[in-house]
Amino acid sequence: MGSQSDWATMRHAVETLAALDIGHDARIVSAHRTPDRLAAFAKGAESEGFQVIIAGAGGAAHLPGMTAAMTRLPVLGVPVESEALKGLDSLLSIVQMPGGVPVGTLAIGKAGAINAALLAAAILALADKALAARLADYRARQTDNVAATPRDGA
Ligand code: RP5
């Protein structure tokens, strides 16, 4: 993520990865404030053993795109909700990549963070049958938890 301030959003990705028992690492890497750290991370991610990168950033959110420019790994972008423009700036910054360098862009905020983790899980599950089973269980539990009728105070 681009900043400590993104953690309130990006922790939902981490919690979802943990719930699926997927190995992960959370780091602060700013495209603007720590560009050398970004280059070192993105260029070294594959040899470090990462298979998918989830990049969350807000405002002029260059982190996902710059990361994608420096790695062949799949990069999933989470637009963090900004104070000034409610994350629309983040969304447009992340989603409008020029053809040739893709970033899989998720929804703004918590939903995007959760879904980035689930999409990463789906990618990894293509080559991991045990993870595919855990992902199927997760989805089944989610389905089971949807009540047929609404309750007051729920
Ligand atoms: C972006 O700027 C970060 O991803 C964050 O969403 C936003 C604001 O950062 P802070 O000023 O809160 O550190 O680079």
Q: Using alpha carbons only, how large is the chain's radius of gyration in Å? A: 16
Average pLDDT over all residues of the chain: 98
User: Does ligand 1 lie within 6 Å of residue 33's CB atom?
Assistant: no
* Residue 3 among known ligand-binding residues: yes
Distance in Å, CA 48 to ligand 1 centroid: 25
Ligand 1 atom, smallest distance to 4 CA:
13
Burial of 95 (0-12, 13-18, 19+ CB in 10 A): middle
Question: From atom 12 of ligand 1, which residue's Cα is the shortest distance away?
Answer: 5
Q: 77 forms bridges with which residues in the sheet? A: 55, 105
DSSP 30-46: -TTT-HHHHHHHHHHHH
What CATH code would you report for 4-144?
A: 3.40.50.1970
Distance CA 7, CA 16 (A): 14
Phi and psi angles of residue 13, each rounded to the nearest 5 degrees, phi first: -65, -45
Ligand 1 atom, smallest distance to 6 CA:
6
Per residue in 77-91, pLDDT tens?
999 999 999 999 999
Is the predicted pLDDT of residue 153 greater than 90, yes or no?
no
User: Does ligand 1 lie within 6 Å of residue 2's CB atom?
Assistant: yes
Tokens of 141: 């539990």
Per residue in 130-148, pLDDT tens?
999 999 999 999 999 999 9
Enumerate the domain spans of the chain.
4-144
Q: Is the pTM of this model over 0.90?
A: yes
Helix then strand then coil, in percent of the chain rounded to 5, is 50, 10, 40
C-alpha neighbours within 13 Å on the C-beta side of residue 105: 22
Per residue in 52-104, pLDDT tens?
999 999 999 999 999 999 999 999 999 999 999 999 999 999 999 999 999 99
